[in-house]
Structure 1
Amino acid sequence: MSTSLKSWGLGLAGLLGLFLLWWLLLAAFSSGEGLVALFTPQATLASLVELLQRPELFEHVLVSLKRIFIGLGLALLVGVPLGLLVGSWRNLEWATTPAFQFLRMISPLSWMPIAVMVMGVGDQPIYFLLAFAAVWPILLNTAAGVRQLDGRWLQLARSLSATRWETLRRVIVPGVLGHVLTGVRLAIGILWIVLVPCEMLGVSAGLGYYILDTRDRLAYSELMAMVLLIGVLGFLLDAAARALYARWSHGASR
């Protein structure tokens, strides 16, 4: 049996074990009737199949994905240049590291009231909160990549009289791309966690909004279906990030 096939088989077994644990826990703490019955795997999967037939669900998914990509794009625009600067200049690193670590430890969700007061209700505060959450893994991984560059590459660039722009474009950026992709994967995980509570605040579309809607309608099996769908979408986003990194690694090793 190939390693790839074995890993897929074990991964599937782990997911099935998770569903079995879900079923056993509900069976142990309920009689199978009443409110708890709406949270069972059977009821959840049945509601998920029904939800997937509703066009409005895909509109909410697209709205959430749009917010994710815009937030990630803003984080890249800020995090990569800052990471290159911090990684290149030791004095700048010493000057900024305490401030960055302080800001990184503040939960993005704690900024929600301030963001709404300053930017109003709508997508703008969500973009800010997502970008704030995602910028730190990208910035720190980019800076770490610059610091780990092989000094002989930079020495070779200098010996060939390369300009700073040429050194940046042909040596530094390709050399740190793997670290940037690692930061992107970490950022996606953080974004997906922060997105849902952000969408519960003053917006009329998105997965977080839809979860509140199912709660208000007392459609608890649909609520669990949405939780399951959010997990699946997050898993697929992470898988895409891992595939992108694996493709880069394969190309870099050739």
Structure 2
Amino acid sequence: MKKQRYIFGAAGLLCLLLAWQIGTFFLGQSLPIAKSLAPVETFESLWYLISSHEIDHHVLASLKRVAIGLGAALVIGVPLGLLLGFSQKVEMFCTPPFQLLRMVSPLSWMPIVVMLLGIGDLPIYFLLVFAAVWSLIISTSAGVKSIDSQWILLGRSMAASRGELFRKIIFPAIGSHILTGLRVSMGIVWVVLVPCEMLGVNEGLGYFILDTRDRLAYSELMAAVVLIGAIGWSLDSLIRCALGKLGR
């Protein structure tokens, strides 16, 4: 089954590559710029960017922002999720405002955040945390509600302290839920990151895309798009592997 998954996955990627080549070929007949976006030109530029280390600091800057944004979202989202999961009154109080805020696109806050926080990393961190925190709150709360109350009663009957209950029963029980929320948050953050990095910073993959556009380096622009997809896929795979190991 695992071998079959790899075969079908590779076939899907080949079909995508073929569609990309056909699309740029036909577009190139009437739009010469499309030829710069073809797979051969793109992968040549991607190899140059990687081998020359020209894009390294942009990748590291983006990964640093993602790590800080997700870390802050975990610090905020997991405790709030625990609170909502254990207290029905807190859940009833918080659900309406949380649902209202959750439905607002993080990108719609960009003009307001720039006006209040200026340009630089701070508004980017705010937008990433805002994008990531809701999935973590919801998944943590759902994990708490899925815990069998008998386990909590058993722990209390054995005179377990509150800290021991969290360490021995609650966190092991909700670990997979938190990782699932983290996986969803990672996908959202990685998508939101690129437009956020167009907010006046001078490094990052979003900035690099703007820079290639201004330099008319369209094959490098497309190479950056491919690299963004590959890195995002890799990050998602890491969390998926952690989920698989936790579920064993």
Name the TM tier (shorter chain). over 0.9
Where does residue 236 of structure 1 map in the other structure? 234
| Amino acid in structure 2 at the alignment position of 1:164 | R
Higher mean C-alpha deviation, range 145-154 or range 209-218: 145-154
- Aligned pairs for 1:37-186 (under 5 A) are 37-186=35-184
User: Does residue 197 of structure 2 align to residue 202 of structure 1?
Assistant: no
Q: Deviations over 1:110-139 (max 9, x none)?
A: 111222222221111111110110001011
| Amino acid in structure 2 at the alignment position of 1:41 | P
Q: Please report how far the alpha carbon of residue 33 of structure 1 lies from its aligned counterpart in structure 2 after TM superposition.
A: 7.3
Q: Please report how far the alpha carbon of residue 32 of structure 1 lies from its aligned counterpart in structure 2 after TM superposition.
A: 8.2
Where does residue 212 of structure 1 map in the other structure? 210
Higher mean C-alpha deviation, range 146-155 or range 76-85: 146-155
Once residues 107 and 86 of structure 1 are traced to their aligned partners in structure 2, the CA distance between those partners, rounded to angstroms, is 23
**Structure 1 portions without partners, runs of 5+:** none
| Amino acid in structure 2 at the alignment position of 1:86 | L
Where does residue 29 of structure 1 map in the other structure? 27
Higher mean C-alpha deviation, range 145-154 or range 33-42: 33-42
Higher mean C-alpha deviation, range 164-173 or range 82-91: 164-173
Q: Deviations over 1:68-99 (max 9, x none)?
A: 00000000000000000100111111111111
User: How high is the TM-score relative to the length of structure 2?
Assistant: 0.97
- Of all paired residues, the percent bearing the same amino acid is 51
Higher mean C-alpha deviation, range 206-215 or range 12-21: 12-21
8 Å Cα contact 2:77/2:137 also seen in 1 = yes
Q: Deviations over 1:216-242 (max 9, x none)?
A: 001111111110110001010111110
Higher mean C-alpha deviation, range 114-123 or range 170-179: 114-123
User: How high is the TM-score relative to the length of structure 1?
Assistant: 0.94
Q: Deviations over 1:192-235 (max 9, x none)?
A: 00000000111000000000000000111111111011000101
Once residues 194 and 182 of structure 1 are traced to their aligned partners in structure 2, the CA distance between those partners, rounded to angstroms, is 19
8 Å Cα contact 2:17/2:39 also seen in 1 = yes
SS at match of 1:209: helix
Q: Please report how far the alpha carbon of residue 168 of structure 1 lies from its aligned counterpart in structure 2 after TM superposition.
A: 1.9
SS at match of 2:29: coil
**Structure 2 portions without partners, runs of 5+:** none
8 Å Cα contact 2:120/2:201 also seen in 1 = yes
| Amino acid in structure 2 at the alignment position of 1:50 | Y
Once residues 20 and 195 of structure 1 are traced to their aligned partners in structure 2, the CA distance between those partners, rounded to angstroms, is 28
| Amino acid in structure 2 at the alignment position of 1:163 | S
Once residues 9 and 152 of structure 1 are traced to their aligned partners in structure 2, the CA distance between those partners, rounded to angstroms, is 45
The number of equivalent residue pairs is 248
Q: Please report how far the alpha carbon of residue 164 of structure 1 lies from its aligned counterpart in structure 2 after TM superposition.
A: 2.2
Once residues 33 and 39 of structure 2 are traced to their aligned partners in structure 1, the CA distance between those partners, rounded to angstroms, is 13
Once residues 106 and 72 of structure 1 are traced to their aligned partners in structure 2, the CA distance between those partners, rounded to angstroms, is 19
Once residues 222 and 243 of structure 1 are traced to their aligned partners in structure 2, the CA distance between those partners, rounded to angstroms, is 31
Once residues 142 and 73 of structure 1 are traced to their aligned partners in structure 2, the CA distance between those partners, rounded to angstroms, is 15
Of 9, 12, 15, the residue aligned with 2:10 is 12
